[in-house]
Chains A and B, each alone.
Chain A
Amino acid sequence: MIWIDVLVQGILLGGLYALFAAGLSLVFGIMRLVNLAHGDLIVFAAFAILLITGSTGLHPFLAALLAAPLMFAAGWALQRFVLNRVMGKDILPPLLITFGLSVALQNGMLEIFSADSQRLAAGPLESASIDLGPVTVGTMPLLTFASAVLVIFALNRIFYTTALGRAFRAVSDDPTTASLMGINPKSVFAIATGLAMVIVTIAALYLGMRSNFDPSIGPARLIYAFEAVIIGGLGSLWGTLLGGAIIGVAQTIGAQLNPEWQILAGHLAFLAVLLIRPRGLFPRAVD
């Protein structure tokens, strides 16, 4: 009986990891860029939400609504003014720039917000739970998972049914030809990074309501996100959700065996998938 509970909790935890990963997957799918500051940007968004709740007294959900356009603007500007200048065949410059950004963000946040643990207060929602017969699940984890499904559903709709999505797919396939058809790849890239930052804000909302956060936890979030993307297969958004669930289940199983093994078990699951299916479970992108 306990193992059903472990499995359900793990899948729900995977929802959070899928939220971490969706933005990473989006950006990689469109411009083959891996943002090493992704985890620190999630923490940054969580602090932005915290500042808004602190100064206006709004509930975190509403504060996230205010933070999302700001994060969109930050992502857009980062891509437009910094990363677009180094996009090209050589992957080293963008990689090192985002690595520099990761170190700068972590230490900037440490200086401004101190190393103290923070939390977004969500009121009674924090401890609410729903009885589903064999297992009882927390409302918050359930909400997280539902949001992850919704985000991935919405991203898929954008990709395959809108003009913006068509532009995304076109520049992903071939930026040069896309620009002959009247698309400016650089502005498409900027919109994509902005959109990724909106997803980062949603991820930050749940990260902050579910657990404590401080400026140093970004890199670990990046690693979970990365593992979910690779397990799912590059370019497959639903695969990313499954990847998140696999990491989540591995972690809860590990924690059940020995609390010290939680994180390790997640990493080992990732390495096992890499061993058996190097291109992930549902690879879509060719490279």
Chain B
Amino acid sequence: MAYTVTTRTRASSIAGIIALALIAFGLVLPAFASRSLIQDLFFILTMLTLAQLWNLIAGFGGMVSVGQQAFVGIGAYAMFAGVILMGWDPVPAILLGGLAAFLLAIPMAFFAFRLTGAYFAIGTWVIAEVTRLLIAQWKTLGGGTGTSLPREATSDIMGVGAIASLFDLRDAAARDVLAYWLALALAVGTMAAIYALLRSRTGLALAAVRDNDNAARSVGVDAARVKWLVFLSAATMTGLVGALIYVQTARISPDAAFSVTNWTAYVIFIAVIGGIGRLEGPIIGVLVFWGLQTAFADYGSWYLLALGLLAIATMLFAPRGLWGLIADRWGIALFPVQRRLIFEGA
């Protein structure tokens, strides 16, 4: 009997068309959206990308990292170094952020992969702390107190002039539009790449390693290679996102750039609340997170307290998150990675 292996479902075909429409809509949005909406979307898109990347290594790869702030921070600082020390334009300097995060991820993986499970988590955290302490010694970039992007660099970013005249905006607003487009490109690129990876042989190998390391190796999966590949790629992308966030912020300090709350705790909450180990999870999670942030951020630490308790409740009562509830109830998968056997003519 002839058969094929597929991951495609009807829901996924529809979701694919809607996703393309949304991307096209996102591209033209700055033509009529307000500046504050563009800024909100920038926040949503960057947090979504960070959450997808954490979800890739933790949810699909089983490597629970609490040290992602190392890559955000080093990426942001590398971008600052490119602008301040080498006189680069901030936008191409974002690429330096990715490079720096990649280079940091090599020793980090070398150390952290010696630890397993929960100890891996704290190991990555220690290395992020070491990186923060070392960067705080870098006096040219402001040491422990930090520094700002020089005015000449921010006033003359490539492409901003064109955007300003295209949409008839002031420079500051045009910078937000540029940052938003870059965030959109990173978010779409990251999700497309993760989806493609998960549907490939490597993605299957990754799931096998997560579920049982020894069993995966016994059928010929090179577990170490798969883990290195995923960890290094996620780190590089996280570095790019970190650099982009700080192009927009234009002011940096070690405590903010290496903040475990902003770049790891929030990201973990987004993935946990939305649903770990699914591409749909962080999308739902970031919308819930943004809603909570907008409504309750004024309550400061009460808000964070509630967020922590919400994450605990989710793990206890809906361990696969909001999307897990939806998928169990209706069996929908917008971005399915599960292989199904289809018999021809059966």
Contacts and interface: CB of A to CB of B under 8 A. Distances in A.
Are chains A and B native binding partners rather than an unrelated pairing? yes
Interface of A: 28, 32-34, 36, 82, 85-86, 91-97, 99-108, 110-111, 219, 222-223, 226-227, 230, 260, 263-264, 267-268, 270-271, 274-275, 278, 287
B309 A226 contact: no
A94 to B, nearest CB: 8
Chain B contact residues: helix, strand, loop or mixed = helix
Interface in B119-145: 119, 121-123, 125-127, 129-130, 133-134, 136-137
Given A28-B118, A96-B311, A271-B130, 11 more contacts: A34-B118, A92-B276, A99-B265, A100-B272, A100-B315, A107-B301, A223-B125, A230-B115, A263-B129, A274-B114, A275-B111
B54 to A, nearest CB: 11
Interface in B319-335: 319
A33 B58 CA distance: 17
Contacts of B300: 111
Given A86-B316, A260-B137, A95 B311 contact: no
B114 A278 contact: yes
Interface in B256-315: 260-261, 265, 268-269, 272, 276, 300-302, 304-305, 307-312, 315
Most chain B Cβ neighbours within 10 Å, of A95, A103, A223, A278? A103
A111 B302 CA distance: 7
B64 interface: yes
Contact of A270 (B64, B66, B126, B261): B126
Interface of B: 58, 62, 64, 66, 111, 114-119, 121-123, 125-127, 129-130, 133-134, 136-137, 260-261, 265, 268-269, 272, 276, 300-302, 304-305, 307-312, 315-316, 319
Given A103-B261, A107-B305, A96 B315 contact: yes
20 contacts: A34-B122, A86-B315, A91-B64, A97-B315, A99-B265, A100-B269, A100-B315, A101-B308, A103-B307, A104-B304, A107-B301, A110-B301, A219-B125, A223-B125, A263-B129, A267-B126, A267-B130, A271-B111, A271-B130, A278-B114
A28 B122 CA distance: 13
A264 B64 contact: no
Contacts of B319: 86, 93
A34 B116 CA distance: 12
Contacts of B308: 100-105, 107
Contacts of A85: 316
Contacts of A36: 66, 121-122
A34 B121 contact: yes
B302 A82 contact: no
B305 A223 contact: no
- Of B125, B127, B312, B319, the most chain A CB neighbours within 10 A belong to B312
Nearest to A99: B268
A32 B118 CA distance: 9
A34 B119 contact: yes
5 closest A-B pairs by beta carbon, nearest first, are A104-B308, A34-B118, A100-B311, A103-B308, A107-B301
**Which residue among A92, A93, A105 has the maximum number of chain B CB atoms within 10 Å of its CB?**
A92
Contact of A264 (B117, B134, B269, B302): B134
Contacts of A100: 269, 272, 308-312, 315
B268 A96 contact: yes
Nearest to A264: B133
A97 B111 CA distance: 25
Contacts of B121: 34, 36, 95
B119 A264 contact: no
A222 B58 CA distance: 21
Contacts of B301: 107-108, 110-111
Nearest to A275: B111
